[in-house]
């Protein structure tokens, strides 16, 4: 069954399981990249360049600062903000939206990594914001703990995933921001502040999903799960087979999702559930792994692409997906990239895509070398007709007024944000354009 699954997913060209040699190569690559980053200084005259993972977003900028200490980050913020210019924080660059793009200053916090403290009794841990999801999985497992949820890939930094509301799949699983218990961040004047539901609660409501627009997150406290073994099962099915079973398959699995491939109208469904069996090494290909969560949940996505993702009320998910399928077949038959269907539990985070409702997320993709806009705009029109909310790290074409219509606390979020950053130090052109009138 696994081989059959891979014969379908091969059409994507970027779906394969992580193997031990991949881990070694990736660790070396990251170490080499970190060594290069250590040599960076503040550069003047826009002779520095930053780009995101896919290469779609590139910017020449005045200053790119890499830091390894929180105090250095605070000093840079205080010094640079005093000039009246703006600062954006860069993570691993996996956002498809221009959330980092800024011609003035970008602060790279990838040097702020690792666990700060672990509390076994409460199953919580403080971690530095530049820690990758990959490295946290290993470190937390050594303490018998694991992240409650994580997305399709594990190269992002924890500060970035909570800034954008990144998520995995599971009807009872919130996005990663939903596991945040406390945040330490640097404000626009260079001062440090801690926030939680009990301390600076208004700031906490903004900071746990901030799109990087209220300050520089340096540490995060997360509520965790015990580390456990998960069994993954990938099953190819035709769309006509899977469509009527969507509610049942979501209900019967802790984690369930599917990819639909337009060219042959086939799907690959994937369920992931707890297992009492021991891990099986070496790891199987994607679709048949049994190992600890940090080894099973992430996948390898190597082909540069763009992505639009909208979250809609869970009860509307199957109908909305059917309309996207019809749109592709009738208007965009050339599209080869898959469409992904996942679930997210309801939460109370003001800018969360799942605020106030159980949610289904539907993602469309396109090769980064192709013009995705006509396709994405047509999809967006359908998503919006179901009350859809866009993923903060992915492509959208919305205005401030449209955001105000889909987020009940849009005005509240901006009111609190502006209290802590009155001069807009952390607003780039993209996010400034979304400020309410």
pLDDT tier for residue 189 given thresholds of 50, 70 and 90: very high
Residue 39 or residue 299, greater confidence: 299
Average pLDDT of the chain is: 89
Candidate CATH numbers 3.30.465.10, 1.10.10.10, 3.40.50.720, 1.20.1630.10; the one for domain 115-227: 3.30.465.10
* Comma-separated ranges of CATH 3.40.462.10 domains in the chain: 229-397
* Tens-digit pLDDT profile for residues 367-386: 999 999 999 999 999 999 99
Residue 6 has pLDDT above 80, yes or no: no
Residue 93 has pLDDT above 80, yes or no: yes
pTM (two decimals): 0.89
Question: Which alpha helices (H) appear in 117-185, and where do they start and end?
Answer: 133-141, 158-164
Segment 207-232 mean pLDDT:
97
* Tens-digit pLDDT profile for residues 339-372: 999 999 999 999 999 999 999 999 999 999 999 9
* 416 in Cβ contact with 202 (< 8 Å): yes
What percent of the chain has a predicted confidence (pLDDT) above 70? 89
* Comma-separated ranges of CATH 3.30.43.10 domains in the chain: 37-108
Residue 11 or residue 161, greater confidence: 161
Alpha carbons 240 and 238: distance in angstroms, whole number: 5
- What pLDDT does residue 394 have? 95
* 254 in Cβ contact with 272 (< 8 Å): yes
Alpha carbons 21 and 99: distance in angstroms, whole number: 33
Class assignment of domain 229-397?
alpha beta
Q: Per residue in 368-391, is it b (16+ CB within 10 Å) or e — as a string?
A: beeebeebbeebbebbbebebbbb
Alpha carbons 362 and 352: distance in angstroms, whole number: 15
**Crossing angle for the helix pair 373-385 and 317-331, to the nearest 10 degrees:** 150
Quickly tell me which residue has 């401030």 as its tokens.
400
3-state SS class at 420: helix
| Structure-block tokens of residue 283 | 């790891």
- What pLDDT does residue 417 have? 98
* Tens-digit pLDDT profile for residues 384-423: 999 999 999 999 999 999 999 999 999 999 999 999 999 9
The fold of the 37-108 domain, in CATH, is 3.30.43
**Cis geometry, peptide bond prior to residue 282 (ω within 30 degrees of 0):** yes
Alpha carbons 375 and 245: distance in angstroms, whole number: 28
* Comma-separated ranges of CATH 3.30.465.10 domains in the chain: 115-227
- What pLDDT does residue 47 have? 64
Region of poorest pLDDT, from 35-49, 57-71, 165-179, 229-243: 35-49
């Amino acid at each position: 069954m696994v081989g059959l699954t891979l014969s379908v997913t091969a059409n994507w060209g970027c779906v394969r399981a992580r193997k031990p040699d991949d881990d070694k190569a990736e660790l070396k690559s990251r170490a080499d990249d970190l060594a290069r980053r250590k040599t960076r200084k503040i550069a003047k005259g826009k002779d520095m360049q930053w780009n995101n993972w896919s290469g779609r977003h590139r910017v020449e900028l005045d200053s790119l600062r890499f830091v390894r200490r929180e105090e250095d980050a605070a000093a840079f913020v205080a010094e640079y903000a005093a000039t009246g210019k703006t600062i954006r924080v860069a993570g691993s660059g996996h956002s498809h939206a221009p959330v980092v793009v800024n011609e003035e200053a970008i602060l790279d916090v990838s040097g702020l990594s690792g666990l700060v403290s672990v509390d076994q009794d409460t199953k919580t841990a403080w971690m530095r914001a530049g820690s990758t999801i990959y490295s946290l999985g290993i470190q937390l497992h050594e303490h018998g703990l694991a992240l409650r949820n994580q997305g399709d890939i594990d190269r992002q930094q924890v500060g970035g995933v909570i800034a954008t509301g990144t998520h995995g799949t599971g009807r009872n699983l919130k996005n990663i921001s939903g596991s945040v218990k406390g945040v330490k961040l640097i404000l626009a004047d260079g001062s440090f502040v801690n926030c939680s539901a009990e301390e600076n609660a208004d700031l906490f409501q903004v900071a746990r999903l901030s799109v990087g627009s209220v300050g520089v997150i340096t540490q995060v406290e997360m509520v965790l799960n015990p580390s456990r073994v998960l069994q993954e099962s990938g099953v190819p099915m035709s769309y006509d087979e899977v469509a009527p079973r969507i509610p049942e398959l979501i209900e019967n699995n802790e984690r369930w999702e599917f990819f639909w491939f337009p060219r042959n109208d086939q799907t690959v469904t994937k369920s992931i559930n707890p297992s009492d069996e021991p891990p099986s090494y070496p790891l199987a290909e994607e679709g048949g792994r049994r190992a600890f969560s940090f080894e099973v949940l992430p996948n390898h996505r190597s082909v540069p692409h763009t992505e639009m993702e909208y979250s809609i009320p869970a009860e509307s998910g199957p109908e909305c997906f059917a309309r996207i399928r019809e749109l592709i077949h009738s208007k965009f038959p050339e599209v080869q990239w898959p469409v992904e269907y996942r679930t997210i539990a309801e939460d109370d985070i003001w800018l969360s895509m799942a605020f106030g409702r159980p949610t289904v997320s539907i993602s469309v993709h396109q090769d980064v070398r192709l013009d995705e806009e006509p396709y994405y705009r047509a999809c967006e029109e359908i998503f919006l007709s179901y009350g859809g909310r866009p993923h903060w790290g992915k492509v959208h074409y919305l205005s401030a007024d449209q955001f105000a219509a889909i987020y009940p606390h849009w005005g509240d979020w901006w009111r609190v944000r502006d209290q802590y950053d009155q001069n807009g130090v952390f607003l780039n052109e993209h996010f400034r354009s979304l400020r309410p009138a």
